[in-house]
Structure 1
Amino acid sequence: MISIDLALKYTPLPISVQRKEVEDAQTLYNQIVNAMKSGTSQLIELTCEKQTEKKVAVMSDQISAVILSQKDGGAAAGRVPGFFSMVESEQ
């Protein structure tokens, strides 16, 4: 599964949708980036291929970042690829 995560302005949690194929994920990523680059606000409607009942609509001018990442069985649950946390463990 390929995950497309959207970081929204003034919202601490990202919006995520998944695609089964890399080409589909790349196409969606490009559509979102192009909408962000355009000078006008556009409504972007997204669906998820992993959870087919999941639908979300967001205005393009509210997106501050889009992240395309591979989700596989080797990745730890709850950890976003490309980011890490520096937390000291108590002993």
Structure 2
Amino acid sequence: MFTIELTLKHTAMPLSVQKKEQEAAEALYGSIVNDVRSGSGQWLEMTCDQIPNKKVTVLASEVAAVQIFEKAAGVAGGRPPGFFALSADQ
């Protein structure tokens, strides 16, 4: 399961949706980045694969950051969200 997480301007709590396939997650991530770069003030509508009736719609100009990460099945496995993580191997 892959999570696409949005951070909005002036909002402390992030919004997220999950996609089962990596290709679908990458496509959604790319679409969000392109809409934010264009600055056209479009609405971004996202649906969630994990919770079928979950929909999130935000104004592209209000997106401050977007990230994609793989949701781990267990607590110890997978990649943690964020831009910096230390590995126990180091």
Question: What TM bracket, shorter-length normalisation?
Answer: 0.7 to 0.9
Normalization by structure 2: what TM-score?
Answer: 0.83
User: Once the 2 structures are TM-superposed, how far is the Cα of residue 10 of structure 1 from its aligned partner?
Assistant: 0.6
- Superposed displacement of residue 19, structure 1: 0.3
Aligned to 2:7: 7
In the superposition, relative to structure 1, how do residues 83 and 42 fare at CA in structure 2: closer, same or farther (>3 Å)?
Answer: same
Q: CA deviation at 1:75?
A: 3.6
Structure 2 residues not aligned, in runs of 5+? 85-90
Residue identity opposite 2:25 in structure 1: A
Aligned alpha-carbon RMSD (Å): 1.6
Identity %: 47
Q: Hey, what does 1:62 align to over in structure 2?
A: 62
Q: In the alignment, what sits opposite 2:88?
A: none
1:26 matched to 2:4? The reply is: no
Structure 2 distance, partners of 1:48, 1:55, is 6
Rg larger for: 1
Q: How many residues align?
A: 81
Runs of 4+ in 1 over 3 A off after TM superposition: none
Alignment correspondent of 2:39:
39
Gaps of 5+ in 1: 85-91
Provide the C-alpha distance between the structure 2 equivalents of 1:75 and 1:31, rounded to a whole number of angstroms. Answer: 30
The one-letter code of the counterpart of 1:44 is: L
Tell me, yes or no, if the aligned pair for 2:39 and 2:60 is still in contact at 8 Å: no
Q: CA offsets, 1:33-91, max 9 Å, x none?
A: 00000031000111100001101110000000001000012346xxx62368xxxxxxx
